[in-house]
Structure 1
Amino acid sequence: MLDKLNIVKQRFDEVSDLIIQPDIISDQKRYVQINKEYKELSELMKKRKEYITLSGNISEAEEIIADGSDDEMVEMAKMELDEAKERLPQLEEEIRYMLIPKDPEDAKNVVVEIRAGTGGDEASIFAGDLYRMYTKYCEGKGWSVSTVDYNEGTSGGFKEVIFEVAGEDVYGTMKFEAGVHRVQRVPQTETQGRVHTSAATVMVLPEAEEFDVELDMQDVRIERTTSTGPGGQSVNTTYSAIKLHHEPTGIIVSCQDQKSQHKNLEKALKVLRSRLYEAELAKKQAADSEKRKSMVSSGDRSAKIRTYNYPQGRVTDHRIGLTLYDLGNIIDGDIQKLIDELMLAENTEKLKENSELF
């Protein structure tokens, strides 16, 4: 383990030197990459320091016990040895996870798209519930959430809602939410009191930087319209809403959230880039059979990933067979326990795939 950590230290020393070089500082893209690597390696260096300290404590304690000349020192050494030996396997496991090659997408911000599926008005209401759940979860983590576009349902909720989330390692966390979510409950629109099953689809797209996707604006037709929705200043009066038509792919993106046409165009272009980037990413993942083997974060839009059952108060994640009887808190934004279990399942899979590293 220490040999591997020493190799990492060599890279940390290189990166520490690179990060202060003027040519790196002047190249924004390169500087962001190096700075990110520096932060990740710094965490590993803390673990390396702890590992060296623990190993030294074990050796020292074993020497004192072997010598046996001072009973009090031997007793203290035994206690220290027990503590160190209990911590060492945990630390090694933490280091193994940190040594797994990172998915470069994980650090990206995301564009989330929620669309009502089967179930009519109830599906739109459920899509609204999911939007509220994710908004509360993201805000609880200190991430910023910004709406791009929405199409309200006739009885509440959304037929479709698109929003951006910005923060630290957002895609690495939110990617597990991609897929079909089902709800089983008595709809607000149902008079007979029967339980119905409705669905909504969640897409989580890693936000593409300008240098990730070369977007030829000659391929983009821009349509400017008035905003729709509840009345108010600028709505239905100014041509601030934007609709982009990407001719080569047929992708259409709308944005009417901001009063400023320029800001709506900026947001719409961001979503268009992310959709184009995600399409390329999907091709890459399809080619990588090992990566696609993991159903945990395959992002298969047609896969039914989770069921929210209101009569029983339970939430079941079908990918890992996890059922939690805590629906009220989960739908109120407390989804961290689900994400933790999904991350654990994926990391365990990665450990198996990268077993030769250890």
Structure 2
Amino acid sequence: MLERLQSIKERHMDLERLLADPEAAADQARFRKLNKEYSDLRDIVRAYDLYAGARRQLEESRQMVASEEDPEMKAMAREETDALERRVPELEQELRLLLLPKDEADSRNVIMEIRAGTGGEEAALFAADLMRMYQRYAERQGWRCEVLDYTESSGPGGFREVTLSITGHDVYGTLKFESGVHRVQRVPETETQGRIHTSAASVAVLPEAEEVDVEIRREDLRFDTYRSGGKGGQNVNKVETAVRITHEPTGLVAACQEERSQLQNKERAMKMLRAKLYDIKLREQQQERADLRRTMVSGGDRSAKIRTYNYPQSRVTDHRIGFTSHALPGFLQGEIGELIDALKMHEQAERLEEAARA
């Protein structure tokens, strides 16, 4: 591991020199590639420097314990040694995590689809609750969250389905564990007997794709236009600005109605379609990489029930890792960071175990 870390540090220094060269900016594509590699290695180099420094201090402290004759100085050195003996393994574990191969998709923006499942109108209201939860979490993260498309339910306030675009830093790597079936247990407002109903909504988190990631042939696409179902405006509900694109080889459909022009809606719908096709490609690759498909957490199996939101007990339970919180109101306000961190740590632990067995 130390040899690998030293080579990484040397590469980081080489990149620093290359990026400082004024000629490097002449080729913007190459400059961006070098800058991304430099940024990716930065955290590893910082952790390595801390680890190497702690190891040196530990060796010096041990020598001082062995050679120091003054009782007070010897006691201080022994105390420092004890602290460093705890600290060095922690830094080593951090380095092992940083050295795990990164999923290229983790740094991407996402397209999130939320669909009401079993439960009728109550499921549609729950889909709207989930949408607001992710919008508020995105706001807390400093991300940008936009509604791309939606289909309202027959009752007020609910959605049969809604599609979001979320852009920011490492969005997919943070939200990919949200894919799956979310279940809610609560008493609907229309329930006169006070009985608890169980409803569900599904969440799909798709990494946003670039044009070069997937090949889409123009002849494989069918374009349909229609009037938006929005709440009015200069063009909305008057002309056919909404766009629906069907990828005929796969049957995948992407639609957008939020923009005021047909061209803008077409561009957004194409972005959604690329994300869906890239998701299929990514999942095929992950299927071949068994270490990323060992668990639901890693695989993000959308057919599985991943979480239950129990209103009477103010409880949220993630069934994949046994996480339970009794702060449901805050959770629905976007305070989901603790659970997401726990899911990340669970995945990292499994990947470390896989790496140790390899």
Q: What band does the TM-score fall into relative to the shorter chain?
A: over 0.9
In structure 1, the partner of 2:124 is 124
Q: In 2, are the aligned partners of 1:143 and 1:167 still within 8 Å (CA)?
A: yes
Q: In 2, are the aligned partners of 1:108 and 1:206 still within 8 Å (CA)?
A: yes
Q: In 1, are the aligned partners of 2:24 and 2:31 still within 8 Å (CA)?
A: no
In structure 1, the partner of 2:34 is 34
Q: What is the CA–CA distance in structure 2 between the aligned matches of 1:34 and 1:116, rounded to whole Å?
A: 43
Q: What is the CA–CA distance in structure 2 between the aligned matches of 1:344 and 1:332, rounded to whole Å?
A: 23
CA shift, 1:191, in A, is: 2.3
CA shift, 1:19, in A, is: 4.5
In structure 1, the partner of 2:201 is 200
What are the equivalent positions in structure 2 for 1:178-217 lying under 5 Å apart? 178-217=179-218
Counterpart residue identity of residue 115, structure 1: R
Q: What is the CA–CA distance in structure 2 between the aligned matches of 1:107 and 1:249, rounded to whole Å?
A: 26
Structure 2: state its 5+ residue gaps.
none
Q: In 2, are the aligned partners of 1:178 and 1:297 still within 8 Å (CA)?
A: no
Instruction: Tell me if 1:158 matches 2:159.
Output: yes
Q: 1:77 to 1:102 in 2, by over 3 A?
A: same
What are the equivalent positions in structure 2 for 1:142-291 lying under 5 Å apart? 142-155=142-155, 156-291=157-292
Identity value in percent: 48
Q: What is the CA–CA distance in structure 1 between the aligned matches of 2:281 and 2:88, rounded to whole Å?
A: 42
Q: What is the CA–CA distance in structure 1 between the aligned matches of 2:17 and 2:191, rounded to whole Å?
A: 65
In structure 2, the partner of 1:59 is 59
Q: What is the CA–CA distance in structure 2 between the aligned matches of 1:33 and 1:119, rounded to whole Å?
A: 48
SS in 2 for 1:151: strand
What are the equivalent positions in structure 2 for 1:82-97 lying under 5 Å apart? 82-97=82-97
CA shift, 1:298, in A, is: 1.0
Q: What is the CA–CA distance in structure 2 between the aligned matches of 1:176 and 1:113, rounded to whole Å?
A: 14
Q: In 2, are the aligned partners of 1:122 and 1:187 still within 8 Å (CA)?
A: yes
CA shift, 1:25, in A, is: 6.0
Can you list the C-alpha shifts for 1:184-217, whole angstroms capped at 9, x where unaligned?
Answer: 1011232222111100000000000111112222
Q: What is the CA–CA distance in structure 2 between the aligned matches of 1:288 and 1:68, rounded to whole Å?
A: 54
Q: What is the CA–CA distance in structure 2 between the aligned matches of 1:37 and 1:25, rounded to whole Å?
A: 18
Q: In 1, are the aligned partners of 2:18 and 2:24 still within 8 Å (CA)?
A: no
Q: 1:133 to 1:8 in 2, by over 3 A?
A: same
In structure 1, the partner of 2:314 is 313
In structure 2, the partner of 1:3 is 3
Q: What is the CA–CA distance in structure 2 between the aligned matches of 1:265 and 1:53, rounded to whole Å?
A: 55
Q: In 2, are the aligned partners of 1:128 and 1:157 still within 8 Å (CA)?
A: yes
Counterpart residue identity of residue 243, structure 2: I
Q: What is the CA–CA distance in structure 2 between the aligned matches of 1:282 and 1:104, rounded to whole Å?
A: 13
> Could you list the runs of 4 or more consecutive aligned residues of structure 1 that deviate by over 4 angstroms after TM superposition?
17-25
SS in 2 for 1:354: helix
Q: What is the CA–CA distance in structure 2 between the aligned matches of 1:297 and 1:230, rounded to whole Å?
A: 40
What are the equivalent positions in structure 2 for 1:4-19 lying under 5 Å apart? 4-17=4-17, 19=19
CA shift, 1:180, in A, is: 0.4
Can you list the C-alpha shifts for 1:124-161, whole angstroms capped at 9, x where unaligned?
Answer: 00000000000000110001101110011222221000
Q: Which moved more, 1:120-129 or 1:79-88?
A: 79-88
In structure 2, the partner of 1:112 is 112
Counterpart residue identity of residue 62, structure 1: R
Counterpart residue identity of residue 199, structure 2: S
Q: In 2, are the aligned partners of 1:145 and 1:163 still within 8 Å (CA)?
A: yes
Query: TM-score by structure 1 length?
Result: 0.93
Counterpart residue identity of residue 353, structure 1: E
Q: In 2, are the aligned partners of 1:18 and 1:24 still within 8 Å (CA)?
A: no
Q: What is the CA–CA distance in structure 2 between the aligned matches of 1:68 and 1:288, rounded to whole Å?
A: 54
Query: TM-score by structure 2 length?
Result: 0.93
Q: In 2, are the aligned partners of 1:57 and 1:80 still within 8 Å (CA)?
A: no
Q: 1:290 to 1:58 in 2, by over 3 A?
A: closer
Q: In 2, are the aligned partners of 1:58 and 1:84 still within 8 Å (CA)?
A: yes
